[in-house]
């Protein structure tokens, strides 16, 4: 076996039939010299291919060609199942897992399977409790970039989602979707015990405590338990003597809104 060194390349002749090109940096082997040359750009960080539109640079010509489709909007890869088109072959391959239900990426902690590597990486933060996205305004940290983007609207007061019926605006798409059920009267969440239907999942969860008699909210003063958080908040005013509801007629104060409503009838009768 003979070795030849030229510009950090090593040429290995294993036999008269087989030739291998080895990277002197990481010892990775390649069957073609051109593959080794391309690979060496990983170490040298050389990017000889530049986009004429945005001047972004790439180490491979194939990556530049794929990138150009961002500008041309060309989508040459089509899904044979749903006919959806993609600009990159790798994106099509990932999409095909939607149809095949293939999930090749598994969490080593809980064994949950994922179709995308990026989804697994995001999921792993649940176990590691890593929150890499931080709000520059209040320094609050988030597990996902999408959560940070939603949170930033608290500071900017941006509400990009608008109801087409009443023009009410929302900071989150999920809140708009929930709100739309007010107009459509859709109630997709049904109680398995009494078949009562709800427009919001959170309302169903609260309702289920009627059947289970679960009371997860406890008063720290007297240890009384409540099924609803709102009931606990109202109850705490018994101890704090807080009365946030005031009658506009006589300025009398009440700890609960329902008591104020009852009291207002005194003035309406008079």
Whether the model clears a pTM of 0.85, i.e. scores above it, the answer is no
**Residue 179 within any structural domain of the chain:** no
**Residue 112 within any structural domain of the chain:** no
What's the N-to-C CA distance of the chain in angstroms?
A: 109
Question: Quick one: pLDDT at residue 168?
Answer: 92
- CATH number at 37 reads 3.30.160
**Residue 41 within any structural domain of the chain:** yes
User: Token match 């391959």: residue?
Assistant: 93
Question: Quick one: pLDDT at residue 15?
Answer: 40
Mean pLDDT by 10 residues, the chain (270 residues): 46 55 87 85 86 89 87 89 88 87 89 88 88 91 88 90 91 88 89 90 88 90 89 89 91 89 85
User: Token match 């338990």: residue?
Assistant: 225
Pairing of strands 133-134, 113-114: unpaired
Return the bridge partners of 5, or none.
Answer: 10
**DSSP 3-state assignment of 79?**
coil
CB under 8 Å to 38, separation ≥6 — which residues?
59, 60
The 10s digit of each residue's pLDDT in 87-121 is 888 888 888 888 988 888 999 989 999 988 888 98
**Residue 32 within any structural domain of the chain:** yes
DSSP letter assigned to residue 6: E
Domain of 7, in residue numbers: 3-46
> What's the rounded Cα separation, in Å, for the pair 234 and 232?
5
Tokens in use for 85? 């088109």
> What's the rounded Cα separation, in Å, for the pair 206 and 224?
18
Q: Which helix (H) or strand (E) holds 72?
A: helix 61-72
**Residue 268 within any structural domain of the chain:** no
Question: Quick one: pLDDT at residue 16?
Answer: 44
Total number of domains constituting the chain: 1
Question: Quick one: pLDDT at residue 81?
Answer: 86
**Residue 141 within any structural domain of the chain:** no
**Residue 15 within any structural domain of the chain:** yes
**Residue 154 within any structural domain of the chain:** no
The 10s digit of each residue's pLDDT in 35-54 is 888 888 888 888 888 999 89
Question: Quick one: pLDDT at residue 125?
Answer: 86
């Amino acid at each position: 076996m003979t070795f030849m060194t030229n510009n950090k390349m090593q040429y290995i002749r294993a036999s008269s039939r087989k030739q291998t090109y080895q990277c002197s940096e990481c010892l990775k082997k390649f069957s073609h010299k051109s593959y080794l040359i391309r690979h060496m750009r990983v170490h040298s960080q050389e990017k000889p291919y530049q986009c004429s539109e945005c001047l972004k640079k790439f180490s491979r010509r194939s990556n530049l060609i794929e990138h150009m489709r961002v500008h041309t909007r060309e989508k040459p890869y089509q899904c044979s199942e749903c006919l959806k088109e993609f600009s990159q072959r790798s994106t099509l391959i990932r999409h095909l897992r939607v149809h095949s239900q293939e999930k090749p990426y598994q969490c080593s902690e809980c064994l949950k399977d994922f179709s995308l590597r990026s989804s697994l990486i995001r999921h792993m933060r649940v176990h590691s409790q890593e929150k890499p996205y931080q709000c520059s305004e209040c320094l609050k940290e988030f597990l996902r970039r999408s959560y940070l983007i939603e949170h930033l609207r608290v500071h900017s007061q941006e509400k990009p989602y608008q109801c087409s019926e009443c023009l009410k605006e929302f900071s989150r798409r999920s809140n708009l979707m929930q709100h739309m059920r007010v107009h459509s009267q859709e109630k997709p969440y049904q109680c398995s015990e009494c078949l009562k239907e709800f427009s919001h999942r959170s309302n169903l969860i609260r309702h289920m405590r009627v059947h289970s008699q679960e009371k997860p909210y406890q008063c720290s003063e007297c240890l009384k338990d409540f099924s609803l958080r709102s009931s606990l908040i109202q109850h705490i005013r018994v101890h704090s003597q807080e009365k946030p509801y005031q009658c506009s007629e006589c300025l009398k104060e009440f700890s609960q809104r329902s008591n104020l409503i009852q009291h207002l009838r005194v003035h309406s009768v008079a």
